[in-house]
Amino acid sequence: LAKTTQPISMDSYEGQEVNITCSHNNIATNDYITWYQQFPSQGPRFIIQGYKTKVTNEVASLFIPADRKSSTLSLPRVSLSDTAVYYCLVGLNTGGFKTIFGAGTRLFVKA
Amino acid sequence: AAGVIQSPRHLIKEKRETATLKCYPIPRHDTVYWYQQGPGQDPQFLISFYEKMQSDKGSIPDRFSAQQFSDYHSELNMSSLELGDSALYFCASSLQRRGADTQYFGPGTRLTVL
């Protein structure tokens, strides 16, 4: 299983761009990188998924360097409602269906 | 769009009682996952099912069991409940794509053991 490492917490202000980097040094060749957002007492919510280079959707961008040993979730112009925990998960290529949530990043957006 | 449904949303039990949590995955999804999340903790994987067969087990106590039925809904059965079992229990479903699993989570069941 690819272990992931993220910052424990981050602070930001409304309107700023926030970049959260995740390290996954032992990512496997076929693994994808997926980011989830979780609000208190709610289930994690899919944000974005990518394999290499850059992926962008309506809420975020995901940057993955060529070696794929890390990835950066970019949230443009955050608002107070983006205060949440963000998890980086690396897809498994072991033939099983087991998911390990590492310690996520607690983002706090201030006015 | 249909989402993952969990029932009940809240459950209060006494120590040593049993509890059954239900999960209805998104239609046509072939994989179901169960997670436990204690207060202030990250989700902990319990067990998963692929095409109604148990696939992987995580940190699931022996007092817990789960199964997936022919209609793809899943149930998590918890016996001899302990105070430490108080947590949010999430179910997620996905359509398997090798290495690119995207899980859709339900709203969770909050279990309180008194």
Closest residue by Cα to residue B21 from B88, B70, B105: B88
Confidence class for position A26, pLDDT limits 50, 70, 90: confident
Mark yes or no for CB contact A93/B98 under 8 Å: yes
CB contact under 8 A, B108 and A104: no
Within 8 A of A91 by CB-CB distance, chain B residues are: 99-101
Mutate to test the interface with B, among A99, A100, A105, A106 (most CBs of B within 10 A): A99
Q: Give the nearest partner residue to A46 out of B57, B90, B102, using CB atoms.
A: B102
Picking from B63, B79, B108, B100, the residue whose alpha carbon sits closest to that of residue B20 is B79
In this prediction, residue A94 carries a pLDDT of 45
What are B82's strand-pairing partners? Answer: none
| Residue tagged 């980086």 (tokens) | A88
- The structure tokens listed for A3 are 């272990």
Q: Which two tokens stand for residue A47?
A: 């944000």
Q: What are B68's two structure tokens?
A: 């997936």
Q: Closest Cα to residue B24, out of B87, B78, B70, B91?
A: B91
Integer angstrom CA distances of residue B31 from A45, A73, A95, B48, B58? 17, 26, 13, 7, 15
User: How much is the mean pLDDT over chain B?
Assistant: 93
As a whole-number percent, the residues of chain B with pLDDT over 70 amount to 96
Average pLDDT, integer, range A56-75: 96
* Nearest CA distance, A44 vs chain B (angstrom): 6
- CB contacts < 8 A, A to B, total 78
Mean per-residue pLDDT for A25-33? 84
More confident residue, B49 or A91: B49
- Tell me if residue B84 falls in helix, strand or coil: helix
- Chain A: nearest CA to B106, how far in angstroms? 6
pLDDT tens digits, one per residue of B59-83: 899 999 999 999 999 999 999 999 9
Using the 8-state DSSP alphabet, how is residue A77 labeled? Answer: S
In chain A, % of residues over pLDDT 70: 91
| Residue A93 confidence (pLDDT) | 41
Single-letter residue type at B39: P
Indicate whether B49 pLDDT > 70.
yes
Give chain A's mean pLDDT: 90
Q: How far is CA A59 from CA A6, A75, A78, A82, B52, in A?
A: 20, 7, 10, 10, 34
Question: Which candidate in B105, B109, B112 is best for mutational testing of the A interface (most A CBs within 10 A)?
Answer: B105
Burial of B101 (C-beta count, 10 Å sphere; 0-12/13-18/19+): buried
Say whether B33 and A46 touch across the interface (CB within 8 A).
Answer: no
Is the pLDDT reported for residue B41 higher than 80?
A: yes
Q: Give A-chain residues touching B30 at CB under 8 angstroms.
A: none
Per-residue model confidence (pLDDT) at position B100: 65
Q: Which of B42, B90, B99 sits opposite A43 (nearest CB)?
A: B90
The residue with greater pLDDT, B16 or B56, is B16
**Residue-level pLDDT at B56:** 85
Is the separation of the CB atoms in B4 and B104 below 8 Å? yes
Contact A44 B103 (CB under 8 A): yes
**Cα–Cα distance between B113 and A49 in angstroms, integer?**
37
